[in-house]
Amino acid sequence: MIRPATFAGVLLLLPALSLMAQQAPLPLSTKQKLKLYLVTSYGPQPVLFSAASAGFHQWLDIPHEWRQGMEGYGRRYASRFAQNAIEETTRMGIGMALREDPRYFASGRTELWARIGHAMKYTFLVRGDDGGRAVAVGRIGGVLAGGLLSRAWQPDSTRGYGQGLQAAGYSFAADMGANMLNEFWPDIRRRLFHRR
């Protein structure tokens, strides 16, 4: 059983490790974008997310060809971690070429539904280095590349094009969840730790 203090510590750790929720309007330098890429590709968040995803798929026995046990879990973990690396590498490459800012910027609103809508919308939109808003070509391309290219090492039951698109859909949902967490984390932190 996870103790509340441990759970709260994990909740505190995840957004604190991310540079995604910064409110600074200044564009990131190339060096800062590369640093962010390393964190989102190989830092604690993708390690923990890949472990959780592998555990969920182990429980569902997907793909069944990888079986149960530590070997099956290891394959599922490596597969999800590699898919994330493909997503982030593609996202950062395209994003840098198109001068996209990869950070999530909170809405600054107080209305619940406006904040939820903002978090959902910015799964597919991005702020440019010039401060304007555009379609998140890097993010969309990265998620599709990760979902489809990860089929190359999958067994027959999960190798198809449809399964690749389904994997991309799950990644979009995870990005949307991360946006929600970044949008509402200051409020959650204040309530959990009674901070102002």
Residue ranges of the domains in the chain?
Answer: 27-188
E-only strand ranges, the chain:
100-101, 125-128, 133-135
Compute CA distances 97 → 63, 72, 145, 148, whole Å: 36, 38, 17, 22
Query: Tokens 């990869």 label which residue?
Result: 102
In order, the DSSP letters of 145-168 are HHHHHGGGGS-GGG-SHHHHHHHH
Question: What is the per-residue pLDDT for 152?
Answer: 96
pLDDT tens-place values along the chain, 196 residues long? 334 443 344 444 444 444 444 445 789 999 999 999 999 999 999 999 999 999 999 999 999 999 999 999 999 999 999 999 999 999 999 999 999 999 999 999 999 999 999 999 999 999 999 989 999 999 999 999 999 999 999 999 999 999 999 999 999 999 999 999 999 999 988 888 876 5
Global model pTM greater than 0.85: no
